[in-house]
Amino acid sequence: MPDVIGSGISGVVAIVIVLGLCLMFHETGHFMVAKLWGMRVYEFALGFGPALFSWVRGETKYAVRIIPFGAFVRIAGMEPGEADVVDGFHSRPRWQAALVIFAGPFMNVVLAVLLLTIVIYVTGIAKAGDPGTLVQGFVPGGVAKDAGLQPADRIVAVDGNRFSLGVADVKAGSPAALAGIAAHTRILQIDEDSVSVPSDLASHIKAPGNEVILYCIDADEEDIAKKAQIIKLPLAALPRPSDVSPEGSVAWCRDVLGLRFEPLDSGTVISYVSYHPDTPVKLTVQRQGSETTLSVTPQSTSERMPVIRPDRQLDTPWQKVGRIGILLGAAREPVPLGAAVRMGFSATGDTLMGAIQAFRAMIRRQVSVESASGPIGIMAISYETAKKGWMEVLSLCGMVSVSLAVVNLLPIPPFDGFHIVLLGFEGLIRRRIDARLQVIAMVGGFIFVISLILVLSYKDIWNIAVHGSP
């Protein structure tokens, strides 16, 4: 019972960190810049609901409220009908008002930089070339520890497979090259079947048929909407593999197809285990300079798994998958503080671009919107992430903060992006928009956003009830 209670408390703390920090930094951005321009702020509160305690300093009331999942700020002149308030929002130049609005999303990006810098400085960075198959910990309730796995074990083979389906090199003029397979491509599916190791590929090619369709991800492509590739591999003129063992498959792919694969990596281990629920899997681990083989039976659960649809849409449908409860990672090396800060900025930039591309791809229906989560989904993910460690929670918080910044800059009422566009338009026409039109836009946008949150929350609750995860 103590472990369960501790885990529960950690999960709640994780929710507070993820949602509380993201919203607190966002509102703090509005608050600080409003104060900078001399705007009157009625109230700045951490949390929602009844106040636990409050105090007044100058013209502003500060409060800490009972529900710790956020924050809010009330700036004079921002409510309809308050346009002429002295020292209010609209009493300052529009560029200053726009900066007040923009400061919210900006502070979300600042939070991401801080958190990712902390994570990088504390955990270090992966050693170059490390495949990330080092056992770094165990998830409560998993079967890996009981099967004999130990921290610092390195998984070097799954059921004898020592290679992934990540393409390291393609021989010029080979069948693979002629079909369009390039280096740094990872094969995820063959026809409609998910695959993870070369023996899966050889087994499908051995079956009757004149071609197979490979669904791949291009690791070099930065645009998420363009990552998916569908490649037809003709088989009519090729000798079929007679040996689909791990070693025979690797040799056949090299000698006949012209493909050389990357060594086993963490993604391959995870996907291979995922595709074998309730089926014993032999893990070959390297321990203290020697290898030993352990048998573990992945527990069956329901989770989202990435797939590529025939129209190249990326999707994450629910599937029955296997889990053994291990945390995999690479050997780490320390990073000086200055380098960690630079890497924190770089990681935040990458996360920001990824979030923008993901939203754009969802709007264009290039990526399924089914995996989108609302507040309840974020809470559930935060709760589960706490089981993996606090650095994972901080990383998640950084990613959520960046996503919040991107969403808030959408030009849709009541998001910050709408207010910025509205201020820009008012600057062009040199007058305020009619208050009634603004109220109508805000109410309509509010109804839209609340409806969207309700739909996402219903979906999250349903998925948690049926699948145990949003």
39: closest CA among 73, 78, 75? 75
Strands (E), 192-251: 193-194, 211-218, 228-234
CATH fold, domain 164-262, is: Pdz3 Domain (2.30.42)
Token pair 């901080």 is found at 394
Least confident of 77-86, 136-145, 402-411, 449-458: 77-86
Is the CB of residue 26 less than 8 Å from the CB of residue 53? no
2 has a pLDDT exceeding 50: no
Q: Rounded mean pLDDT of 364-373?
A: 71
Mention the CATH class of domain 128-162+264-308+317-333: mainly beta
- In whole angstroms, what is the distance from residue 255 CA to residue 218 CA? 23
377: closest CA among 466, 467, 464, 465? 464
Each residue of 351-363: pLDDT tens digit? 999 888 888 877 7
Burial annotation 93-116 (CB, 10 A radius, 16+ → b, else e): ebebbbbbbbbbbbbbbbbbbbbb
197: closest CA among 245, 233, 230? 245
Is the CB of residue 125 less than 8 Å from the CB of residue 437? no
- In whole angstroms, what is the distance from residue 297 CA to residue 47 CA? 44
Q: Looking at the DSSP assignment, which residues form a beta bridge with residue 293? A: 284
3 has a pLDDT exceeding 50: no
Element (H, E) at 456: helix 435-467
83 has a pLDDT exceeding 70: no
Query: Which amino acid, 109?
Result: V
Residue 81, pLDDT score: 62
Q: Which of 63-72, 105-114, 422-431 has the highest mean pLDDT?
A: 105-114
- Mean pLDDT, the chain, rounded, equals 88
Q: How sure is the predictor about 463, in pLDDT bands with cuts at 50, 70 and 90?
A: confident
Each residue of 302-336: pLDDT tens digit? 888 888 888 888 888 888 999 999 999 999 999 99
pTM: 0.85
Question: Who's near 453: CB < 8 A, 6+ residues apart?
Answer: 374, 375
Residues of the chain with CATH 2.30.42.10: 128-162+264-308+317-333, 164-262
HSE-CB for 376 with a 13 A CA cutoff: 17
| Whole-number percent of the chain with pLDDT over 70 | 96
- In whole angstroms, what is the distance from residue 99 CA to residue 37 CA? 10
Question: Who's near 198: CB < 8 A, 6+ residues apart?
Answer: 161, 163, 165, 246, 249, 250, 253, 261
- In whole angstroms, what is the distance from residue 267 CA to residue 95 CA? 47
CA dihedral of residues 371, 377, 382, 388 (deg, nearest 10): -50
Each residue of 151-199: pLDDT tens digit? 999 999 999 999 999 999 999 999 999 999 999 999 999 988 899 999 9
Residue 216 C-alpha from the chain's centroid: 20
Q: Please report, in angstroms and rounded to a whole number, the separation of the first and last CA atoms in the chain.
A: 26
Query: 292: how many CB neighbours lie within 10 A of its CB?
Result: 12
Reply yes or no: is the peptide bond before residue 414 cis, omega within 30 of 0.
Answer: yes
Each residue of 270-294: pLDDT tens digit? 999 999 999 999 999 999 889 999 9
